[in-house]
Structure 1
Amino acid sequence: MIFYCESRIFSGQERMFLTAACARSHQTKCILIVNSTNDAAIKFSKSNGHFSEIKLIDNFDQKFSSLFIWFRWSRIYSLSQYLKEKRRQYPIICVSQGRIESGNIGVLAGKLARMNIISYIPMVHSHIEMGSGKLSGTIKDLLCSPLYRLPDSFITISNEVAIELRENCSATIKVVENFAQRKPLVKVEDVPPLFYDKSYYKLILPGRLLNKQKGQLDLVRALKVVSEKTSQNILCYIVGDGPDDSLINNEIKNLDLSHNIFMLGNRSDLLSIMYECDLVVLPSLFEGVPLVLLEAAILDKDIIASDIIGFKNYISKNDVFSPHNTDSLANKIISKLRKDATKAIYNENLERLLSRNEDIFTTDFCKVLNELS
């Protein structure tokens, strides 16, 4: 089997995909095709896998992929020729698709090479959900519509996402739920501002700095409302990096919240920082089932999240707020501050996810690969 991952980042989606690929590589001969700039993914795969070959592909600009995919035929053709050479021994390609726009060079090359194509995809979304205008969002969705019909089958991460996928394609769909590693807490060396000051109510928003998905600006603006409605000391740590670092920083400065909101960048001690915070806030506009939700729940943290598929099926309705709605988010934070709301209640779906581990995940994934092969 060939596994294809063109992503430049190594976030939850890529970690799950490569964990499964590495497990499979210990069972049978496998090739991994991976972005040459994704050093973390390459290191992880070499340390944990047993691949017959790790083929590095050149990085490329992945913006506007739903449109530009139809103009990347030189890259697609080159990859298809490689796949044709390998097809006799490796007739199946499993492609990591964080969104339906991504990974399609691998999908189309696999089509040209007449391979069985399995897509590993964590979510379905519309571009209006992602912040596009009604007209541009409709056009982008039309461009994406054919992409759902390219793979022969899909593996996704929840029954709810599977239902949305079935509205877009007629391919076979299998569900393999995520897991989160139970990592030990470590000492916080580079201590964030006011970290040990008990007079502050502390919030944390972990995740890639990509506002159109993660909604960091919604939290920044909500905290401005909260600061005007309460006299309680409150601060927030935003943990992660990404393309919207400057955008979020500028909004913090424009709203005069630099003494309340601190951007910490990527942190290897994220879990330890999260453990010391009072509330985990997840204002995403679209998600699959983010690993940070599981990590927060493992730490038994209080959580509020936007009312979307990736969250509402895992925590109670009292702990969700309307997505992309500053007032709804601000009111939910205030209810926690005033202790009008109890600690977040995890429902049975989340409790089940917390019982999963790497062995269960890889066993399930390899079983599904066998079925789809």
Structure 2
Amino acid sequence: MINSKKNILLIMPYGSVGGMERLALTFYDYYKEKGHQIKVLKLIQLQNDIINFGEDELYLSTVDFSEMKASKRLLFYAKSPIHIRKIIKKYNITHSIAFGDMANLFSSLTQTKEFKIGSIHALKSVELITNTFFNKLTRFGYKHLYGKLNKLVCISKAIKEDLIANCAYKFSNLEVIYNPHNTSEIVKRSQETIKDPLEKELFLKKTILFLGRLSVQKSPWHLLNAFAEVISTDKKINLILVGDGDYAVQQIVYSRIKDLNLSNNVHLLGRKSNPYKYIHASNVLVLSSLYEGTPNVIVESIAVGTPVVSSFCTKGIIELMSTKDYNETDSNIEVEAGIVTPNFFNGEIGIPKSFSLIYEEKLLAKALLKVINNSEEYKEKLHLNKQELLKKFNLEYVAKQYLKPVN
């Protein structure tokens, strides 16, 4: 049954270079290669989208949520399930895969009979801590709507446990499936040369790389404070940030770079269609997130062979970076893929009122310096454990597992 040809609809929020979008592209390429008929629906299609799907791409709006008035956004929420229903009918969709809560909610409301797959990509008890309208709607969905999905994929054990224990999730359709990765393709693309001479020059120094969206979730102010500590020890280190971001967060980043006198060492490169070559060119990849699921970028960095320093923003980080189990602690944890530092989450989500240096930032700085100053040792350790760390992300296995009924 799994090998028979299917009409698959992928529903994704944006076309940026974030983890969910790259995951959707991975599925698209795999299912297309296997001969399935694929359509991809972007809830929001923007002119500067990095990830695109040519003639297979559909969209609901070309206006971003940040540019919609509240009334227009509510109307968008109300009409989206109707529009998706029409798309499912028009293309005789047999299977739909939704990425993230907005797509999950809309899919659950279409009243169509295809095999519906939803997915959760972050620790929801933390993400839903603010009482916004959409967060209220999401919590309602966990109790009343998500049962309409045939399967809800959790991309780590930690996420599944959190949904049940802390989010009042009511249905028995949960299954843990790790994100798939075409690691051979990632490695191949990581070998591409950085051609821009200005960018190339940046990587001549020892380099820390942040890859992702500049958002409250990623808390880049913690990273910048830690990096200020790093260059107080060694000024010949660059911090490179690859990705776009929320406007308010970007403004904070610019302000903090100026306040901390980091302009000569911090460089924002924006969106990149091939982020893997920047991972390969760096000494260490860093995450300073408040919460995560199982960040794709960590798996990508492991595949490329670049060590990782990440905050303990979810137990899922340990699932990615180690073959062993570790409990959360207030100390740095040495693991096969790098170092895990203490969690930054303090019970609140938002831009902090104070940017004073904190204990966790000092430990992040200490970890970054240790990896950079012992780069070959950490790369060798990662190399020895890479196959064991990556085996759970096999693309063929995961892509097939998505389309099966819940175990």
**Mapped pair 1:107 → 2:142:** no
Q: Could you tell me which residue of structure 2 aligns to residue 155 of structure 1?
A: 153
Structure 1 residue 347, shift from structure 2 partner: 10
Residue 27 of structure 1 and its aligned partner are, at CA, apart by 4.5
2:53 to 41, 44, 47: 44
CA contact under 8 A between 1:205 and 1:236: conserved in structure 2?
yes
* Structure 2 stretches lacking a partner, 5+ long: 1-6, 323-332, 345-359
Change (3 A) 1:277 1:182: closer
The equivalent of 2:174 in structure 1 is 173
Normalised by the length of structure 1, the TM-score is 0.76
2:20 matched to 1:13?
yes
Instruction: Name 1:331's counterpart in structure 2.
Output: 366
Label 1:255 to 1:364 Cα distance change in 2 as closer, same or farther (>3 A): closer
- C-alpha distance in structure 2 between counterparts of 1:59 and 1:72, whole Å: 15
Q: Name 1:33's counterpart in structure 2.
A: 41
1:217-232 alignment runs, 5 A limit: 217-228=221-232, 230-231=233-234
* 1:320 aligned counterpart, secondary structure: strand
Q: 1:295 to 1:172 in 2, by over 3 A?
A: same
User: In the alignment, which residue of structure 1 is the partner of 2:238?
Assistant: 235
- The residue that corresponds to 1:120 in the other structure is 119
Supply the distance in 1 between the matched residues of 2:120 and 2:107 (Cα, whole angstroms): 14
Contact 1:20 1:362 in 2 (8 A): no
Q: 2:107 touches 2:116 (CA, 8 Å); kept in 1?
A: no
Are 1:259 and 2:264 matched, yes or no?
yes
Residue deviations 1:186-225, cap 9 Å, x none?
222223375365xx53212122222x12232211111223
Summarize deviations over 1:271-292 as a string: whole Å, max 9, x none: 3333333222121222222232
Is the 8 Å Cα contact of residues 98 and 117 (structure 2) preserved in structure 1? yes
Gaps of 5+ in 1: none
Distance in 2 of aligned mates of 1:118 and 1:18: 16
Name the SS for the 2:343 alignment partner.
coil
Report Cα offsets for 1:134-181 as digits up to 9, x if no partner.
Answer: 7x4599755432223423321233333333344424232231442133
Identity of aligned residues (%): 19
Aligned pair 1:207/2:212, yes or no?
A: yes
Q: Please give the root-mean-square deviation of Cα atoms over the aligned residues, in Å.
A: 4.0
State whether structure 2 residue 325 is matched by structure 1 residue 322: no
Once residues 23 and 250 of structure 1 are traced to their aligned partners in structure 2, the CA distance between those partners, rounded to angstroms, is 42
Which of structures 1 and 2 has the larger relative contact order (alpha carbons within 8 angstroms, sep 6+)?
2
Q: Name the amino acid aligned to 2:150.
A: D
Secondary structure of the equivalent of 1:182?
A: helix
Match for residue 315 of structure 2? 309
| Partner in structure 1 of residue 395 of structure 2 | 361
- Bigger drift between 310-319 and 55-64 goes to 55-64
**CA contact under 8 A between 1:287 and 1:309: conserved in structure 2?**
no
- In structure 2, relative to structure 1, the CA distance for the partners of 1:221 and 1:79 (3 Å cut) is same
Residue 144 of structure 1: aligned partner: 138
Name the amino acid aligned to 2:108: V
Q: Return closer, same or farther for 1:162/1:31 CA change in 2, 3 Å cut-off.
A: same
Secondary structure at 1:242 match in 2: coil
3-state DSSP class of the match of 1:218?
A: helix
Deviates further, 336-345 or 18-27: 336-345
Q: Show CA shifts across 1:62-108 (max 9, x none).
A: 469xx96698323433444554x459x445433222xx245423332
Q: Is the CA contact 2:303–2:390 (under 8 Å) kept in the aligned structure 1?
A: yes
Give, as a single letter, the amino acid of the residue that structure 1 aligns with 2:362: D
Cα separation, 1, equivalents of 2:261 and 2:245: 22
Question: 1:145 is matched by which residue type in structure 2?
Answer: R
How do 1:337-352 residues align onto structure 2 when only pairs under 5 Å count? 343=378, 345-346=381-382, 351-352=387-388
Go from structure 1 to structure 2 and tell me whether the alpha carbon gap of 1:369 and 1:254 turns closer, same or farther (over 3 Å shift): same
Paired residues of 1:294 and 1:350 also in contact (CA < 8 A): no
Query: Counterparts of 1:258 and 1:280 in 2: how far apart (Å)?
Result: 20
**Quick one: distance in 2 between partners of 1:71 and 1:266?**
27
Pair 1:43–1:350, CA change in 2 (3 A): same
- State whether structure 2 residue 281 is matched by structure 1 residue 276: yes
Of 257-266 and 289-298, more deviation after overlay is shown by 289-298
- The 1:70–1:320 alpha-carbon spacing in structure 2 relative to 1, beyond 3 Å, is farther
Decide which of 79, 93, 98 is 2:96's aligned counterpart: 93
CA shift, 1:235, in A, is 2.2
Range that drifts further, 285-294 or 334-343: 334-343
Quick one: which amino acid aligns to residue 19 of structure 1? Answer: T
Matches of 2:230 and 2:275, distance apart in 1: 25
Contact 1:18 1:45 in 2 (8 A): no
Post-superposition Cα deviations, 1:28-87, rounded to whole Å, max 9, x if no partner, equal 5554433462575874364xxxx6xx54322454469xx96698323433444554x459
Query: How far apart are 1:248 and its partner, in Å?
Result: 1.2
Q: How far apart, CA to CA, are the structure 1 residues paired with 2:152 and 2:273? A: 32
